[in-house]
Amino acid sequence: MLILHPLLGLRDAQEFTYLGDASIIDRPDGLTEPEAFHDYLYLRDNPAGVHKELWFHEQGDRSWLVVTRNTVTHEILGAELARDYARGRGRSR
Amino acid sequence: MNQALRQTEGFVADLPQAALGPSQVQRVGAGLVDRSRTLSFTFDGRAYAGHPGDTLASALLANGVRLMGRSFKYHRPRSVIASSSEEPNALVELRSGARAEPNTRATVVELWDGLEARSQNRWPSLAFDALGVNDFVSPFLTAGFYYKTFMWPAAFWEKLYEPVIRRAAGLGRLSTEADPDAYDKGFLHCDLLVIGAGPSGLMAALTAGRAGARVILCDEDFLLGGRLNAETLAVGGQAGTDWARAAVAELAALPNVRMMPRTTVVGAFDHGVFAAVERVADHVAAPLAGKPRQILWRITARRSVLAAGAIERPIAFRDNDRPGVMLAGAVRAYLNRWGVAAGRRVALFVNNEDGLRTARDLDARGVDVVAVIDARPEGERLPGIRHLKGAVVTGTAGRLGLTGITVRDAQGREERVACDVLGVSGGWNPTVALTSHHSARPVWEEGIAAFVPSLDGPKGLGVAGAAAGALSTHGALATGAARAAEALEDLGFRVSSVDLPEAEDAPVRLRPLWHVSGTGRAWVDFQNDVTVKDIKLAHQENFRSVEHLKRYTTLGMATDQGKTSNVTALAVMAELTGKGIPETGTTMFRPPYTPVSMGVLAGRSRDEGFKPTRLTPSHKWAREQGAVFVEVGMWLRAQWFPRPGETTWRESVDREVLATRKGVGVCDVTTLGKIDVQGTDAGAFLDRVYANTFSTLPVGKVRYGLMLREDGHVMDDGTTARLGEHEYVMTTTTANAVAVFRHLEFCRQCLWPDLDVQLVSTTEAWAQVSVAGPNARRLLERVVDGDISDAAFPTMACGNVTVCGGLRARLFRISFSGELAYEIAVPARYGDALIRELMAQGKDLGATPYGTEALGVLRVEKGHVAGGELNGQSTALNMGLGRMVSRKKDSIGMVLSQREELVREDGLRLVGVRPVDPTAVLKGGSHFVALDKEAVAANDDGWLTSVVHSPHLGHQIALGYLRNGAARMGERLRVVNLLAKTEVEVEIVSPHFIDPEGERLRG
Amino acid sequence: MKYSALRVFREALTGHKGWTPAWRDPDPQPSYDIVVVGGGGHGLATAFYLAKEFGQARIAVLEKGWIGGGNAGRNTTIIRSNYLLDGNQPFYEFSMKLWEGLEQDLNYNAMVSQRGILNLFHTDAQRDAYTRRGNAMILHGADAELLDRSQVRKMYPFLNFDHARFPIKGGLLQRRAGTARHDAVAWGYARGADQRGVDIIQNCAVTGFRIVNGRVLGVETTRGYIGAIKVGVAVAGSSSRVMAAAGMRLPIESHVLQAFVTEGLKPVIDGVLTFGAGHFYVSQSDKGGLVFGGDIDGYNSYAQRGNMAVVEDVAEGGMALMPMIGRARLLRTWGGIMDMSMDGSPFIDRTPVQGLYFNGGWCYGGFKATPASGFCFAHLLARDEPHPTAVAYRLDRFRRGAMIDEKGQGAQPNLH
């Protein structure tokens, strides 16, 4: 697989380490009830189709990317810096 | 047996040993081999001659050898049926010793001088094979018979039935010696990858090459040109082979074209990535020194054209597996390309026009074509040849080789025709394999009665020529040019109009005929001995889905992966179910297209080079000291430093431990992960990733930190030092250095992207050495510039210092051993010098290097957790560190660490373990059981995580996780090791065996 | 029809005319007592044991394609009960005991072959971990032996003892482990279930559940609505997709695992071997192919195919462990979709929907679990309470903090 890194261009997926569903960005911060953390950490949509997911450019510039990929065809529809994606989800500090 | 009979039966195969075979009696023309040079080779110990350009198969046929192998199940005598990589029968063992290579298709072995090959899957000889008896009991050995028997008595399966079956099965023998050859890997990039260098592939490459695109042209053959080399067809007014040679010459002159003969594209992967295997040295006895045998290329292509041609398919009829029954196209290829007449009296059995070409070519070369049995009642007859219309072959005769066939004509009359070769053409199946590697199913094309590629194959892959169902030479050239032009336009190249050379465009005129019905066995899958009867039985027993059919009968599972059998089997099943062929199913292919050696897939990654080896800065020095090294992840670390006179590792380790506790020990701890954490929010960031608090840590101080995963389990531990207001240095365990850094970057980039904090892994940047023991300060004072007295540099102090008169360094007063101890870090390139300086300066202080074993003893004596306890399954509470998890702040893992099962009062706790008998031997991994209880799971109270011998205490000590351990101090238990059938009575004690009050480290 | 050597003999003499279908192809009835969704090994075994052991009748198995076509037909055929944790080991040992009597139970030769599994270790820490595991196995009534380097060398002299990057120090051996003929397991259960009246309905995809007031009434399928008192879902690989139709999100991700086989070779590897310093495990089939595998590809996928990186990684492990394998040829690769769960262990449990039961999350341990999974799921479906060996396989275990994490990797499915 090849991933179009937003800064570095097309890179082999082997340079990256995979984490999983990008929903793991939506952490219920604070001293929240365990139930919210349970759903956040353990439950997944796991779609057969378009999936937003986290890849770490471990053998590269060490940026985390949110890659949009089809889990049935493996087609990659886009990739952006996870930092930007996270800010878009309202995360800050 | 007289000579003539021998020749019609097994040919020369049963002549006495060591006799030289007849010299190429079947060679009737020059073909494309170089007859000016002769190569000698042996098959089953007998010597033969051939020429450059021959394959092993063509050379054997030239010498009149046609018995080449035995089938898998019935051990039927077999000869070659094809001329290319689809060959199911002619499998040989090539070379010998460690280079022996089983199951090698004789059709793809390029002949070299001195080649050595043996037949396989036969005993005692190819001509007489004892397991040929299977053929006589074949009625009992039908598809799936083994599922219905061998069940009684149950124990007999492993003891009797299975060993017999295993020995009978298999094909060639794998050497048990290490593969002596080297393999390589490489990466290539191109605009257009062309797979196959027949007419369509050459045309595609020419089109793209002339337009200036970066082109890679691969072909599995050593001679480019594909079927043009096997035919007598004209292209552009010249012989097809000459056109091909000219095209190759033109391509070779283009700097933007890379031609790769002997290179098979074996798989199509995601996003235009292809795997290709180049056989660099398979056509010579052994690779040149320093050169690889094969190379695995990973080719990234912006666009690709599959021009892999088509594979001819046989027709099934009774005893159609006799040596001498061949594919008609192969008979023609041996004649035209290799100048070899496969037989002297040749009959043909065809259902399409293409098969007639073989008759014409043989006739033109003066080979006796005894009859053409044409299943089609319509159409013209060949002039001057006995051409039976509407006729079929119903059987064959001959033991080790074909002697004749039975023909049934249109009127139903049967007659026997004497012949030594029967060429069969049932039509051509496009080579669609790569197009279905992404799960696309090929579609049925009625016109040629074959599957052609679907349009939803791998993105960017076009299909041309016979692979796309364009079976004429004109069709191949035209589609090759068109697919290339489309791809180039897609990529923005300007393509000038292509001049297509003139070529035949003959229709196929195929009348589908899959099998001739009748009694007896008609083979569909030759290698695995699957017959029409087996398919009928599968149908009868409701194994009707294609996948059930394949799995039940083993059809298509042999080394040829059903290249000549799958479609025929589908058609037979379709007949039985009364459905159409596409409704019955499709054939699917998975990588690799042809079998690939494991060696090339591994490349250089083997033996000591399996994984990279990381060396510590003191490695050279440690080697000079005679250190014994141990693998720790990718690192090699000194395990202990034996001294003359020490005979066991324990002696060395005990000495190192005692010397450290008495004087001073020196240990390279560079392998610990080191991460610089800087920024105005560095403290706040650490508070969130550590369970305990770091923002309150004073500058110049170090604190032990516990890091949890979000699921509340301990991820890692280590010390983090605050070197400045906004500057921290974190250490991680050796094992988790990479994972922790990744995790911290996740937290930083994904969870809190606006915190002002930066991370840099500096593990390789700093050499770090632990200096531990009562004399540690005295030693360091001789190296460190400046005051490091207890007042100036107290316990848990840290700071930037200089050593040896100005070299920048970092000093941390931290202790893993429980002694007065420091860790000192210098830029990695000074690591070697530092350790030499420390050892030189410390001579009079008893400075002693210690390795990982002593390190382990020291930390267990002190009760620190490490790998055995940090197993990813433990919580802070388990480790006795529950109070370190701050409940007042949000940190990773805090909330979920409080779940009910994780905070059980009676859960596992870290304890110290002391054997009641000080001479007793404990084993790590032994389990706790109460003294009065039976050793069964219900009474399993935990296990020993780390066991060492404490030279300080003079007996073994251990750490362990014990159920309800906090409440069991002083209790006596037994630890059982059921693997060794031993048990030891132990007392549960505090895990701090030495200096629980910490007097020493404050010393 | 009963299979026997005598029957094979008689049929051989009479042209094999007497063999009957191994299972029927019935049309679905309007309703059943129990509908099992998924005609893989687990679903078929569930139906078999429901009929045989739990006295249930009116059972159907619904399969979207052909039976045994999922992971039952795409695995490396290994059976073993060498687990570490209390939640797992009793279950897998129960499964091993069922394997040991399977052929007589089914009257079908699934070629259960107990030629042993040897897990190699390469460091002292791994030896201690295997000691802990081996003891846990014996405590639970299974067999285990710890071999040292010389004992391993005697068993498998061709391993890389002299030029290894990570030297072999020994191995944990379970002699009762081995392999079984994977397809035959599915077929044997199908035939056994069919003989006991179970309707096996192929080419029948479940598209939804009819749920009223929190109770399941039946399933919508491509062959129409089928009513059921109880519905058991056993569709590992597709669990998230199917259960989404019942409104559930699962602690599961789908990942692709590739498996590999070489050309047929004369016997060279007797038992099952696993490399402890790389991702590689191997055995040799009765037909002679070396069957091997390694890691999952590592990214979410529903495509039954993988990529080169893992192919190469697995081959590297093979070459590092046994450098003779270099001249064996890889014949075929295939990819199966795994239910990778959040702690690497499976689920056999009720769901919040009354009458709807779930079996999944098998990661890559599904094949060896087939008999016990079927038995325990049948137990749960028939009696509405978990089988004693499967009590830990609850969906709520993450809420309670009762994870069964053999590898200690936490909530990251691709690391299990």
| B607:C323 CB<8 A | yes
State whether residue C402 sits within 8 Å of chain A by CB.
no
CATH code, C220? 3.50.50.60
Q: How large is the average pLDDT for residues C377-387?
A: 98
Residue C63 lies in a domain: yes
Tell me which residue of B838, B818, B834 sits closest to B826, measured CA to CA. Answer: B834
pLDDT tens digit sequence for B391-444: 999 999 998 999 999 999 999 999 999 999 999 999 999 999 999 999 999 999
Which structure tokens are listed for B919?
Answer: 């001479």
Confidence band, pLDDT 50/70/90 cuts, at residue B982 = very high
| C135:B976 CB<8 A | yes
Which residue in chain A is spatially nearest to B899 when comparing CA positions? A34
Residue C399: its chain A contacts at CB < 8 A?
A: 34-35, 38
pLDDT of residue A31: 84
pLDDT of residue B240: 97
Residue C150 lies in a domain: no
Q: How large is the average pLDDT for residues B894-902?
A: 97
The CATH architecture of the domain made up of B673-761 is: 2-Layer Sandwich (3.30)
| C399:A38 CB<8 A | yes
Residue C39 lies in a domain: yes
Q: Does position B15 have pLDDT exceeding 70, yes or no?
A: no
Tell me which residue of B574, B538, B539, B568 sits closest to B554, measured CA to CA. Answer: B538
Confidence band, pLDDT 50/70/90 cuts, at residue B20 = very low
Confidence band, pLDDT 50/70/90 cuts, at residue B23 = confident
Q: How large is the average pLDDT for residues B970-977?
A: 98
State whether residue C243 sits within 8 Å of chain A by CB.
no
pLDDT of residue B12: 36
Q: Quote the CA–CA distance of B534 and B516 in Å, as a whole number.
A: 15
B875 residue type, one letter? T
| CATH 3.30.2270.10 corresponds to the domain A2-88 | yes
> How is chain B split into domains, by residue range?
3-140, 183-310+430-491, 312-427+510-523+566-584, 614-671+765-843, 673-761, 905-1003
State whether residue A44 sits within 8 Å of chain B by CB.
no
**Residue B969 to residues B519, B940, C332, Cα–Cα distance (Å):** 84, 18, 58
pLDDT of residue B2: 38
Topology of domain B183-310+430-491, CATH: FAD/NAD(P)-binding domain (3.50.50)
Q: How large is the average pLDDT for residues B909-925?
A: 98
pLDDT of residue C212: 98
pLDDT of residue B21: 46
**Smallest CA–CA separation between A41 and chain C, in Å?**
7
State whether residue A44 sits within 8 Å of chain C by CB.
yes
Q: What is the DSSP code string of B97-147? A: GGG-EEEEEGGGPBP-TTEEEE--S-SB-SSSBGGGHHHHTGGGS-TTGGG
pLDDT of residue B168: 86
Pick the CATH number of B905-1003 from 3.30.450.20, 2.40.30.110, 3.40.1170.10, 3.40.710.10: 2.40.30.110
State the pTM of this model: 0.96
Residue C70 near residue C236, CB atoms below 8 Å: yes
ipTM of the complex: 0.99
Q: Does position B3 have pLDDT exceeding 80, yes or no?
A: no
Least CB–CB distance from C252: residue in A44, A69, A72: A44
Q: Quote the CA–CA distance of B848 and B779 in Å, as a whole number.
A: 12
Residue B328 has a CB neighbour count (10 Å cut-off) of: 28
What proportion of chain B, given as a percentage, has pLDDT over 90? 92
**Smallest CA–CA separation between C299 and chain A, in Å?**
6
Interface chains of chain A (3 or more CB pairs under 8 Å): B, C
Tell me which residue of B254, B245, B172, B162 sits closest to B206, measured CA to CA. Answer: B254
Residue B816 near residue B858, CB atoms below 8 Å: yes
Which structure tokens are listed for B881?
Answer: 């560190």
Domain count, chain C: 1
State whether residue C342 sits within 8 Å of chain A by CB.
yes
Q: Does position A6 have pLDDT exceeding 90, yes or no?
A: yes
Backbone angles phi, psi at B734, to 5 degrees: -60, -45
Q: Does position B151 have pLDDT exceeding 90, yes or no?
A: no
Backbone angles phi, psi at C43, to 5 degrees: -65, -45
Residue B859 near residue B869, CB atoms below 8 Å: no
Which residue in chain A is spatially nearest to C396 when comparing CA positions? A38
Q: B496-500, B529-533, B864-868, C103-107: which has the minimum mean pLDDT? A: B496-500
pLDDT tens digit sequence for A12-65: 999 999 999 999 999 998 888 899 999 999 999 999 999 999 999 999 999 999
Residue A38: its chain C contacts at CB < 8 A?
A: 398-399
pLDDT of residue B19: 39
Domain range spanning residue C405?
A: 28-81+182-252+343-415
Confidence band, pLDDT 50/70/90 cuts, at residue B503 = very high
Which structure tokens are listed for B907?
Answer: 């859960």
Topology of domain B3-140, CATH: Ubiquitin-like (UB roll) (3.10.20)
| CATH 3.40.605.10 corresponds to the domain B312-427+510-523+566-584 | no
Which residue in chain A is spatially nearest to B684 when comparing CA positions? A93
State whether residue C240 sits within 8 Å of chain A by CB.
yes
Beta bridge partners of A64: A56
pLDDT of residue C220: 98
Q: Does position C72 have pLDDT exceeding 50, yes or no?
A: yes
Q: Quote the CA–CA distance of C261 and B92 in Å, as a whole number.
A: 20
pLDDT tens digit sequence for B757-804: 999 999 999 999 999 999 999 999 999 999 999 999 999 999 999 999
Which structure tokens are listed for C58?
Answer: 């009116």
Q: State the Cα angle at A35 between A32 and A41, rounded to 5°.
A: 90
Superfamily for B614-671+765-843? Probable tRNA modification gtpase trme; domain 1 (3.30.1360.120)
The mean predicted confidence, pLDDT, of chain B is 95
Interface chains of chain C (3 or more CB pairs under 8 Å): A, B
Residue C306 near residue C256, CB atoms below 8 Å: yes
B445 residue type, one letter? E
Radius of gyration (Cα) for chain B, nearest Å?
38
Residues 50-89 of A with CB under 8 A from C: 51, 53, 69, 71-74
Beta bridge partners of B129: B124
State whether residue A81 sits within 8 Å of chain B by CB.
yes
State whether residue A19 sits within 8 Å of chain C by CB.
yes
Confidence band, pLDDT 50/70/90 cuts, at residue B11 = very low
**Smallest CA–CA separation between B977 and chain C, in Å?**
6
Q: Quote the CA–CA distance of B517 and B535 in Å, as a whole number.
A: 13
pLDDT tens digit sequence for C289-309: 999 999 999 999 999 999 999
Tell me which residue of B330, B338, B354 sits closest to B473, measured CA to CA. Answer: B354
| A91:B752 CB<8 A | yes
The mean predicted confidence, pLDDT, of chain C is 97
State whether residue B742 sits within 8 Å of chain A by CB.
yes
Residue B887: its chain A contacts at CB < 8 A?
A: 31
| Domain pair B183-310+430-491 / B614-671+765-843, same fold | no
| A44:C309 CB<8 A | no
Residue B298: its chain C contacts at CB < 8 A?
A: 308
